[in-house]
Structure 1
Amino acid sequence: MRKLLIYAEQGFTVIALLIYSGAILTLLLSGGAGQNEVVEYDSLLNRISFFVIYGITLLLLILRWKKTLYVLVLNKDIFLYSLVMLTVVSIIWSFEPSTTLKNSFTLIGSSLFGLYLVSRYSLKEQFYLFAWTFGIVIVLSFIFAIALPKYGIQNDGTGRPLLRGVFTHKNGLGARMVTSSIVFFLLAYQSKRRSWLFWGGFSLSILLLLLAGSTSSLLNLLILILAFFAFQIWRWPYQVTVPTLIMIATISQSLYFWFSNNAGVLLTSLGKDATLTGRTDLWPLVIDMILKHPWLGYGYGGFWQGWDGESAYIWLNAGWTPNHPHNGYLALWLDLGLLGLGLFLLGFWRSYLQGLAWVRSSNTALDIWPLMQMTYIFLASLTESTLLESNSITWILYVAACFSVRMGHERKIKS
C-alpha cells in the first residue's frame, strides 16, 4: 500500500509539472489555433486543473508540516518571500486590482509547488521526475506532429512549417526543450547505468529544438552547455581555476564585442531581423511607461489590459498588440517597480553565490543543476517575460533552485 501511495504521489508530481509547463491542455482547448489567430475558448478546465494542484500541494505540505517548516525556516530567503508578498500588497496601487488578486494567488500556489518539490524529493529524485515529464513531452510532441499536424505543426507566417509539439507556440516548445536537454545531459553525464537512454533523451530534445526553429533557445542551450564546463572548472584547485576562468572571460568578452559589431549580419544569416522580431522597437515604449511609475509599477498583472488599460499606449505606438514586453526584467519593473526588480536581483545574486559555494564543495553533475537553471532564467528573461509568471514551470524551478542551493549552503557550513 505504501509503494502504491508513493507511485501515486510521483504520478501527481509529473502531471502537475506537465500542466505547469503549458503542455497539451491549452493547445487542445484552443483547437490548435495558428500563430496569428485570435480565438476564444473556455478555460474552465485549465483553471480547475490548477486549483486541484494547489489543493493537493497544500495538503501534502501540511501532512509533512515538520519538513515543510524546516525548509522554510532553513532558507530564510527574505528576498524571495518579500517578492512574493509584494505581488499581494501591490493590490493597493494596482491599475487592475482583480487581476492582481488572481495573479498573486496563483503565484503563491506555484511557489508552494516549488517548495513541495524541494521538501519532498531529493535532487536526484527530482531529476528522475523531470526526466519522466520531459520524456512524455518529447514522445507526445512527435505524435502530435505526425498524427495531429493541425495541433503539432505551426506555420510561421511565411509558409514554412515549424514544430510546436504539445505547446501553443514553437517558442514554448523551444524553451521547454532547453530545460529538457539540460536535464538529460546532466543525467547522462552523471549516470553509469542507462546513460544511453539519457543521451537519447538529450538528442531528441535537441532535434525538437531544431525542428521548432527557436534560434534564441538554441543559443541559450549552447551557452548553458559551455557554462556547465565552466562550473566544472570552478571545482578545480584555485591556482588552476583562476587563470583558466580569466582566459575564458577574456575570450567571452572578445566574442561579445565581435557579436556587437556584427549582430545585424549574424541575425540575418539566422533568419532573424536586427530588431529581434520587433522587441527592440517595443522596449523603448515599455520604458516610457515604466518611467511614469518607476518605484512601485502598475501592480502585479495590472498593466497589460489591452485597449482598456495602460497597455493601449504600447499597442497604439507599436503597430501590433503584444501582451508582454518580451523581456522578463522590464515585465517585472512594469508590475512591481524598481522595488520588485531590486528584490528579485538581490535574491538572485545571493542564491547564485550560494550555488557557486555549493558546487565548489560538491562533486556530482546533478549539484550543478540549480546554477544551470538560474543561469537559464537569467538568459531567457532577456527576450521572454516568464520571469515572475504564475502557473509557470519557469518560476517553479527557480523557487526550487533557490531553496536547493540554500539547503546545500547550510549543509556545507554545518559540515
Structure 2
Amino acid sequence: MRKLLIYAEQGFTVAALLIYSGAILTLVLSGGAGQDELVEYDSSLTRIAFFVIYAITLLLLVLRWKKALYVLVFSKDIFLYSLLMLAVVSIIWSFEPSTTLKNSFTLIGSSLFGLYFVSRYSLKQQFYLLAWTFGIIIVLSFIFALALPKYGIQSDLGKPLWRGVFTHKNGLGGRMVTSSIVFLILGYQRGQRHRWLFWGGFSLSMLLLLLAGSTSSLFNLLIIVLAFFAFQIWRWPYQVMVPTLIMMATISQTLYFWLSNNAGVLLNSIGKDATLTGRTDLWPLVIDMIWKHPWIGYGYGGFWQGWDGESAYIWLNAGWTPNHPHSGYLALCLDLGLLGLGLFFLGFWRSYLQGFIWMRGSNSALDIWPLMHMTYIFIASLTESNLLESNSLTWILYVAACFSVRMKHEKKINHEPNKRSIHSIDIAKSL
C-alpha cells in the first residue's frame, strides 16, 4: 500500500510538471490554432487543472508540514519571500487589481509547488522525475508532429516548423533547452545506470530544438553547454583554476568585442534581422512606460490590458500588438518596478554565488544543476518574458534551485562550527 501511494505521488508530480510546462492542454483546447489566429476556446479545464494541483500541493505540504517549515525557515531566502510579498501587495497600486489578485494567487500556488518539489524529493529524485516529464514531452511531440500535424506543426510562419505539444515553436524550443540540460547532467553523472537512455534523451531534445527552428533557444543551449564544462574548472586546484579562468575571461572579452562589431552580419547569417524580430523597436517604448512608474510599477500583471490599459501606448506606437515586452527584466520592471527588479537580482546573485560554493565542494554532476538553471534564466530573460511568470515550470525550478543552494549553504555554516568544536575537544583530550 505504501509503495502504491509513493507511485501515485510521483505520478501526480510528473503530471503537474507537464501541466506547468505548458504542454498539451492549451494546444488541444485551442484546436491547434496558429500564432496569428484569434480563436476563442473554453479554458475552464486548464483553470480546474491548476486549482487541483494547488489543492493537492497544499495538502501534501500540510501532511509534511515540519519538513516544509524547516525548508522555509532554514533557507532564510528573505529576498525571494520579499519579491513574492511585493507581487501580492501590488494589488494596492495595481492598474488592474482583479488581474493582480488572480496572478498573485497563481504565483503563490506555483511557488508552493517549488517548495513541495524540493522538500519532498532529493536532488537525484528531482532529476528522475524531470527526466520522466521531458521524456513524455519528447515522445508526444514526435507523435503530434508526425501523426497530428495540425497540432504538432506550426505552418503560419512562412515555412512549417515543429511545435510539438506546445502552442508555438519557441515554446518547444525553450522547454527542449531545459530538457537538454537535464539529460546532459544525468548522462554525465558517474555511476549512473542506463546512461544511454539519458544520452538518447539529450540527442532527441537537440533534434526537436533544431526542428523547431528556435534560433534564440539554440543559442541559449550552446551557451549553457559551454557553461556546464566551464563550471567543471571551478573544481580544479587553485593553481590550475585561476590561470585557466583568466585565459577564458580574456577570450570571452575578445569574442564580446568581435560580436559587438559584427552583430548585424552574424544575425543576417542565421536568418535574423538586427531588430531581433522587432524587439529592439519595442524596448524603447517599454522603457518609456517604465519611467512613468519606475519604483513600484503598474502592479503584478496590471500593465498588459490591451487597448483598455496602459499597454495601449505600446500598441499605438509599435505598429503591432505584443502582450509582453519580450524581456523578463523589462516585464518585471513594468509589474513591480525597480524595487522588484532589485529584490530579484539580490536573491539571484546570492543564490548563484552560494551555488558556486556548493559545487566547489562536490564531485557530482547533479550539483551543477542550480547554477545551470539560473544561468539559463539569466540569459533567456534577455529576450523572453517568463522571468516572474506564474504557473511556469521555469519559475518553479528556479524556486527549487534557490531553496536547494540556500539549504546546502546554511547546513555547511552550521556544520563547520561543530567540526571545529569536536576538533578542539580531541586536542584537549590528547593534552
> TM-score, with normalisation over the residues of structure 2?
0.95
1:241, 1:191 → 2: CA distance? Answer: 22
1:412, 1:199 → 2: CA distance? Answer: 33
Where in structure 1 are there 5+ consecutive unaligned residues?
none
- Corresponding residue of 1:239: 239
1:79, 1:304 → 2: CA distance? Answer: 26
- Corresponding residue of 2:3: 3
Give yes or no for the alignment of 1:359 onto 2:359. yes
1:10, 1:256 → 2: CA distance? Answer: 44
The Cα RMSD (Å) is: 0.7
- Residue 324 of structure 1: CA displacement? 0.2
1:157, 1:220 → 2: CA distance? Answer: 22
Matches within 5 A, 1:208-227: 208-227=208-227
SS of the equivalent of 2:409 reads helix
Equivalent position amino acid for 1:301 in 2:
G
1:266, 1:139 → 2: CA distance? Answer: 34
SS of the equivalent of 2:172 reads helix
Give yes or no for the alignment of 1:136 onto 2:136. yes
2:342, 2:38 → 1: CA distance? Answer: 35
2:38, 2:273 → 1: CA distance? Answer: 25
Equivalent position amino acid for 1:194 in 2:
H
The answer (yes or no) to whether the contact 1:224–1:375 under 8 Å persists in 2 is: yes
CA offsets per residue over residues 40-74 of structure 1, 9 Å max, x none? Answer: 11110000000000000000000000100110011
2:58, 2:367 → 1: CA distance? Answer: 27
- Corresponding residue of 1:93: 93
The answer (yes or no) to whether the contact 1:186–1:366 under 8 Å persists in 2 is: yes
1:280, 1:155 → 2: CA distance? Answer: 26
Equivalent position amino acid for 1:231 in 2:
F
Ranges of 4+ aligned residues in structure 1 off by more than 6 Å = none
1:191, 1:211 → 2: CA distance? Answer: 31
CA offsets per residue over residues 322-343 of structure 1, 9 Å max, x none? Answer: 0000000000000000110000
The answer (yes or no) to whether the contact 1:296–1:337 under 8 Å persists in 2 is: yes
Matches within 5 A, 1:221-300: 221-300=221-300
- Residue 251 of structure 1: CA displacement? 0.7
SS of the equivalent of 1:132 reads helix
SS of the equivalent of 2:297 reads coil
Equivalent position amino acid for 1:219 in 2:
F
**How many residues were matched structurally?**
414
1:256, 1:232 → 2: CA distance? Answer: 22
Matches within 5 A, 1:288-327: 288-327=288-327
1:258, 1:41 → 2: CA distance? Answer: 48
Equivalent position amino acid for 2:375 in 1:
T
SS of the equivalent of 2:370 reads helix
1:111, 1:243 → 2: CA distance? Answer: 40
Matches within 5 A, 1:3-402: 3-158=3-158, 160-192=159-191, 193-402=193-402
1:122, 1:188 → 2: CA distance? Answer: 18
SS of the equivalent of 2:262 reads helix
The answer (yes or no) to whether the contact 1:114–1:396 under 8 Å persists in 2 is: yes
Equivalent position amino acid for 2:261 in 1:
N
- Using the TM superposition, name which of 239-248 and 168-177 deviates more: 239-248
SS of the equivalent of 1:104 reads helix
CA offsets per residue over residues 146-187 of structure 1, 9 Å max, x none? Answer: 0100000002532x1100000000000000000000000000
The answer (yes or no) to whether the contact 1:361–1:412 under 8 Å persists in 2 is: no
2:157, 2:214 → 1: CA distance? Answer: 15
2:412, 2:358 → 1: CA distance? Answer: 7
1:365, 1:222 → 2: CA distance? Answer: 18
Equivalent position amino acid for 1:363 in 2:
N
- Corresponding residue of 2:428: none
- Residue 35 of structure 1: CA displacement? 1.6
- Residue 409 of structure 1: CA displacement? 1.3
- Residue 257 of structure 1: CA displacement? 1.1
CA offsets per residue over residues 373-404 of structure 1, 9 Å max, x none? Answer: 00000000000000000000010010000001
Equivalent position amino acid for 1:276 in 2:
L
1:246, 1:149 → 2: CA distance? Answer: 50
- Using the TM superposition, name which of 35-44 and 343-352 deviates more: 35-44
- Using the TM superposition, name which of 249-258 and 332-341 deviates more: 249-258
1:30, 1:259 → 2: CA distance? Answer: 40
CA offsets per residue over residues 124-149 of structure 1, 9 Å max, x none? Answer: 00000000000000000000000100
1:156, 1:189 → 2: CA distance? Answer: 38
SS of the equivalent of 2:258 reads helix
Give yes or no for the alignment of 1:410 onto 2:410. yes
1:191, 1:325 → 2: CA distance? Answer: 42
SS of the equivalent of 2:161 reads strand
SS of the equivalent of 1:41 reads coil
1:212, 1:235 → 2: CA distance? Answer: 35
The answer (yes or no) to whether the contact 1:35–1:155 under 8 Å persists in 2 is: no
Identity of aligned residues (%): 86
SS of the equivalent of 2:154 reads strand
Equivalent position amino acid for 1:199 in 2:
W
1:194, 1:72 → 2: CA distance? Answer: 35
1:26, 1:78 → 2: CA distance? Answer: 35
SS of the equivalent of 1:23 reads coil
